[in-house]
Amino acid sequence: MERKTHDAHVEDAVHALGRSGAVMAPRAEAEALAAHVFGAPVDSLPPGTEPGDESATRFQALVARRGEGVPLGYLTGRAALSGIEVEVGPGVFVPMIVSEATLASGLKAIADNPAPTVVDLCTGSGAFALAVAHHTPGARVHAVELDQAALDYARRNSARRTALGDTPIVLHQADVTRPLTLAELDGTVDLVLSSPPYTPDEAPVPAEFGVHQPRDAVFGGPDGLRVTRHVVETAARLLRPGGTLVIEHGPFHAESVPGLLRADERFEDVSDHPDAYVGHPLYAQATRSRPGPSTNRRA
C-alpha cells in the first residue's frame, strides 16, 4: 500500500466523494470519517504522520461505502442534532442536519414554559425527544415509535442521555395512524414535534434514502402524506389550546401540509418555513385554536 499522510488520505477521500455525486459536503464528510477511523480530527494530528495500514484500509473502505450512498451515520454509528449525539445504524432513520431548524422552532415555542409537556411522534432514534429533554430539563417528554428496531435505538439513546444527566423521556411503542394514541394526554400537551415519513412512494430519491434507510421511515404513501394526516389529527387531539405543532415535510409539500392545517379549524396561526441551507420548504407550524371563533389565520 502506498504510504500517505493522514492529510493526503483525506484529500483523496474528498475527491472520491465529490466524484460519487452521493455527498453534498465531501470535505466535511471525509473529515468526519477520518476522525472516526484515526481517532481524532486530522488537523489535530502531528503534521506529516501516516496512519497504519489497517487504519488506512478501513478508511478507504468507509469512503467507498459512503460514495455508494450508505449514510454517514451508519458508517460512524452516530449522528448529532442540536448539541446531542445519538447512536444510529441500519434499521433506523439518521437525523438530518436540516432538522435543526424544525427542532429550534419547537424549542422556541416552549422557551417560556419551565415544565412543558412535549410529544415527539415518529421519534425514530429519539433525537428530537432527547434534544428537547437536554435543552429543557423541566420538560415531560413522550416519544412514540412503532418500529421495533428504531425503538431499540431510541431506548439505548435514552439510557445513555439519562446517564449523562439529561431528563429521562418516556418511550411508547405505538402506531400514530391508530386512533387514540396517547389518549391519556389529550388536551394537555404544550408541543407536538414530528418528522414523519413524507416522501411520495414513487419519488426519485438518492440511494442514501431510497436504498439504505428503512423504507417505512422514508416513504409516506402515494402523495407522501399518509402518516402526516394522522399526525395532524393526533396533534389536534393532544394539544392544549395555545399549544404548538411543528411538523417536518418535504419540499413537495409546501402547500399541501399547511393546507391540511388550515382546513382543520382546530388550528390557527399556520405558517411554513424553509431549511437554513438551500431554502427548500422544510416544516409547518401551527397553534391549537383557543376557545372562541377560530381565525385560522396565516402567520
Same domain, yes or no, for 122 and 58? Answer: no
> What parts of the chain have a pLDDT lower than 50?
294, 297-299
pLDDT given for residue 188 in this prediction:
98
Q: What are the DSSP calls for 183-202, one per residue?
A: GGGTT-EEEEEE----B-TT
Same domain, yes or no, for 92 and 234? Answer: yes
With respect to residue 294, please indicate whether it lies within any of the assigned structural domains: no
Same domain, yes or no, for 10 and 141? Answer: no
- What does the pLDDT look like over 93-112, one tens digit per residue? 999 999 999 999 999 999 99
With respect to residue 295, please indicate whether it lies within any of the assigned structural domains: no
The residues that bridge with 85 in the sheet, in sequence order, are: 80
Sort strands 84-87 and 117-121 into parallel, antiparallel or unpaired: unpaired
Same domain, yes or no, for 61 and 135? Answer: no
Sequence-separated contacts (24+) of 210-214 with Cβ below 8 Å: 211/69, 212/69, 212/70, 212/71, 212/74, 212/90, 213/71, 213/93, 213/94, 214/91, 214/92, 214/93, 214/147, 214/149, 214/150
Residue span of the structural domain in which 103 resides: 81-288
Same domain, yes or no, for 54 and 97? Answer: no
With respect to residue 74, please indicate whether it lies within any of the assigned structural domains: no
pLDDT given for residue 49 in this prediction:
76
Residue 262 has, within 13 A of its CA and on its CB side, a CA count of: 13
